[in-house]
Structure 1
């Protein structure tokens, strides 16, 4: 049995965070374990409350799982504070696992999910341990300190992020304009490739970042290569967006069932550098 872990916040509405991660893990046939960094009171309309876990207890959750179970891959989502980031780093520093960082900063409704002072801890302490970082454009701008408006900006921001020590950056292009949604993947060895799919105009996108990074973690946990895991995770989240559940009155959740319901068939174009 392939075992993976998510270190993230709980979404009471079920569309993002720990809940989205576990649904994704289940659909992809890996056993999911968790360390919860915060409780949130939220629905599709927004976040109404955040109750963070203590850093010591976050660390205890991680350590007790690793003492018993052979975790192969880990993802982080909402980490909230510098202190929690430092606790995660302390637990994972000497672990032989693939580490996926989804730098969750702002909820779909606009609520801040990462304190300002935590960004520096993310860059200097957590990213050097990471296999891959999966920022959207606003997150990449914060981490790199650069404004991203075109392909050249995108590449410069990715190169700056790679100097933190992370091995790979998936620059998600959902916030950019165009008929196609393009994610560009940059590796620390200077290679890159891009993934293109049809842009879906919809409000049913709550939890897309969590879902993509969870799928990537699951595929890595199965022993797939990083490149193949990224491509297949793109298909998973694309199908989840293309086949909406249409629930809630705000930004509705993606459909975690779709990848298997659609027999894993999805049109994604791979563009080599």
Structure 2
């Protein structure tokens, strides 16, 4: 029987990230994808909006998907309100499969007060149930309370985030740090593993959806691999998708990661 992966995340109408990126990633790794939509994200070249899904609808989706057999892992992405976090957490307390959390919480329209409560709910409720959490630098700063400007800062932040109960922390530098290299830092069993690669130089960055694709790749890999190997392969998968990304149109300053890139390149 084909095993299943579940994504609990938002829907991105342009398929840059969210459940569209998750399901495409699951398919590339040979899993049947299930989804619970926590919100709908609409995107234009200069704005985006998030429309949270009604709690009763989320609950009905969770009841439907989690009643199935052979779910091998769960990826959690956009949870746009504290109430939605509370609801999802209650369901995750009863699962016995790896849970990969991509802590999406940096929204242009979210004020500092709402962000504070989202961060507290993720730290205190969601992370203790997580197998792996994959914050970017902004998210890692919010979760750890530290300023991150170097690899040493990433290490300090990862250790703080690990203290919240999550088994493994992957802090992603993206292209934010100085120099020609990007770093993903894995903190697991009180040990640091650094994954380094050259920055992808392009007139149009093809990194929209990289975070969602990365965490979904880990969810697919961790079913049969160690966390270190899962992260390493996820990085390779995302890199192929960035190097062969999809341009939306001339009005967008970034393009989308293409989840099929590695398979088609290797054929």
Give the TM-score, by structure 1 length: 0.89
The residue that corresponds to 2:48 in the other structure is 48
**Is the contact between residue 89 and residue 126 of structure 2 (CA under 8 Å) also seen in structure 1?**
yes
Q: Which runs of 5+ in 2 are unaligned?
A: none
The residue that corresponds to 1:185 in the other structure is 186
Q: Distance in 1 between matches of 2:123 and 2:248?
A: 36
* Corresponding residue SS for 2:201: coil
* Corresponding residue SS for 1:158: helix
The superposition leaves residues 121-177 of structure 1 with CA deviations (integer Å, 9 ceiling, x where unpaired) of 000000000000101111100000000112222111111101100001101111212
Work out which of the residue numbers 218, 221, 234 in structure 1 matches 2:220: 218
Q: Distance in 2 between matches of 1:261 and 1:111?
A: 38
The residue that corresponds to 1:167 in the other structure is 167
The residue that corresponds to 1:205 in the other structure is 207
The residue that corresponds to 1:155 in the other structure is 155
Confirm whether residue 63 of structure 1 aligns to residue 102 of structure 2: no
Shift of 1:64: 1.6
Q: Distance in 2 between matches of 1:226 and 1:209?
A: 17
The superposition leaves residues 209-256 of structure 1 with CA deviations (integer Å, 9 ceiling, x where unpaired) of 0010111111123x2222211111010101111112223231211111
The residue that corresponds to 1:240 in the other structure is 241
**Is the contact between residue 104 and residue 113 of structure 1 (CA under 8 Å) also seen in structure 2?**
no
Shift of 1:196: 1.2
How many residue pairs are counted as aligned between the two chains? 259
Q: Distance in 2 between matches of 1:208 and 1:46?
A: 19
| Shift in CA distance, 84/39, structure 1 to aligned 2, threshold 3 Å | same
Give the TM-score, by structure 2 length: 0.91
- Please give the root-mean-square deviation of Cα atoms over the aligned residues, in Å: 1.8
**Is the contact between residue 206 and residue 243 of structure 2 (CA under 8 Å) also seen in structure 1?**
no
| Shift in CA distance, 40/243, structure 1 to aligned 2, threshold 3 Å | same
The residue that corresponds to 2:255 in the other structure is 252
* Corresponding residue SS for 2:80: coil
Confirm whether residue 122 of structure 1 aligns to residue 125 of structure 2: no
**Is the contact between residue 62 and residue 91 of structure 1 (CA under 8 Å) also seen in structure 2?**
yes
Q: Which runs of 5+ in 1 are unaligned?
A: 265-273
| Shift in CA distance, 214/112, structure 1 to aligned 2, threshold 3 Å | farther
**Is the contact between residue 10 and residue 36 of structure 1 (CA under 8 Å) also seen in structure 2?**
yes
Shift of 1:113: 11
The superposition leaves residues 18-69 of structure 1 with CA deviations (integer Å, 9 ceiling, x where unpaired) of 11111111111111100000012214x2543322112232232122212123
Q: Distance in 2 between matches of 1:261 and 1:196?
A: 24
| Shift in CA distance, 197/82, structure 1 to aligned 2, threshold 3 Å | same
Shift of 1:111: 5.3
Q: Distance in 2 between matches of 1:55 and 1:205?
A: 31
